[in-house]
Amino acid sequence: MSTLLALTVGGSCAPVITAIRDYQPDFVYFIVSGGDRGSRKTVDGTGNPCGDPRKAKCPDCGKDVPLGDPKGVNILAQTGLTEGQYEILELPEPDDLSGCYAQLRSALMQLKEAHSDWRFLADYTGGTKTMTAALTLAALEAGYEFSLVKGTRADLVKVRNGTEMAALVNVGEVRARQQMDEAQRLFNRYAYASAAEILQNTLRAVFLPPELQREITERVGLCRAFDAWDRFDHSQARVLLETHKKQFETLWKFLKLISGAKPGYAPVLDLLCNAERRAVRGRYDDAVARLYRALEMLAQIRLEQRPERLISGNLNPTLLPEILQAKYEALREQGEKGKVKLGLRQDYELLAELADPLGNVYQEYSKRLLQALNYRNESILAHGQTPIARDRWLEMYQASADFIQAGLQAVNVRLDAPQFPQWQ
* Rounded Cα distance, 306 and 100, in Å: 71
CATH assignment at residue 383: 1.20.120
Q: Among 56-65, 113-122, 394-403, name the one with the lowest average pLDDT.
A: 56-65
In a domain, 423, yes or no: no
- Does one domain contain both 50 and 110? yes
- Does one domain contain both 135 and 115? yes
The mean per-residue pLDDT over the stretch 229-242 comes to 97
The mean per-residue pLDDT over the stretch 127-153 comes to 86
Predicted confidence band at 378 (pLDDT cuts at 50, 70, 90)?
confident
- Does one domain contain both 117 and 159? yes
* Rounded Cα distance, 87 and 190, in Å: 44
- Does one domain contain both 181 and 127? no
Asked whether the predicted pLDDT for residue 352 surpasses 90, the reply is yes
In a domain, 280, yes or no: yes
- Does one domain contain both 80 and 228? no
Q: DSSP labels for 102-129?
A: HHHHHHHHHHHHHTTTSEEEEE-SSS-H
Side chain identity, residue 412? N
- Secondary structure E strands in 23-137: 27-33, 55-57, 64-66, 86-91, 119-123
* Rounded Cα distance, 9 and 129, in Å: 11
Angle at 393 between CA 392 and CA 396, to 5 degrees: 85
pLDDT of residue 156: 37
CATH assignment at residue 90: 3.40.50.10770
Asked whether the predicted pLDDT for residue 35 surpasses 90, the reply is no
* Rounded Cα distance, 164 and 159, in Å: 7
The mean per-residue pLDDT over the stretch 216-243 comes to 96
**34-38, long-range: CB within 8 Å, 24+ apart, which pairs?**
34/90, 34/91, 34/92, 34/94, 35/92, 38/90, 38/94
Side chain identity, residue 63? K
- Does one domain contain both 241 and 277? no
How many domains, the chain?
3
Quick one: residue 342, left, alpha or beta (phi over 0 = left, psi -120 to 50 = alpha)? beta
Q: Which domain holds residue 239?
A: 176-248
In a domain, 253, yes or no: no
Average pLDDT, rounded, for the chain: 89
pLDDT of residue 153: 42
**pTM listed for this prediction:** 0.75
The size of the chain, in residues, is 424
In a domain, 128, yes or no: yes
Predicted confidence band at 219 (pLDDT cuts at 50, 70, 90)?
very high
Asked whether the predicted pLDDT for residue 396 surpasses 70, the reply is yes
In a domain, 416, yes or no: no
In a domain, 415, yes or no: no
Beta-strand relationship, 27-33 and 3-8: parallel
- Does one domain contain both 201 and 286? no
Please answer whether residues 183 and 200 qualify as being in contact, where contact means their C-beta atoms are separated by less than 8 angstroms: no
Angle at 384 between CA 379 and CA 387, to 5 degrees: 35
In a domain, 258, yes or no: no
Please answer whether residues 308 and 392 qualify as being in contact, where contact means their C-beta atoms are separated by less than 8 angstroms: no
pLDDT of residue 253: 96
Q: What is the pLDDT of residues 44-95, one digit of tens each?
A: 988 888 875 555 455 556 665 444 444 588 999 999 999 999 999 999 999 9
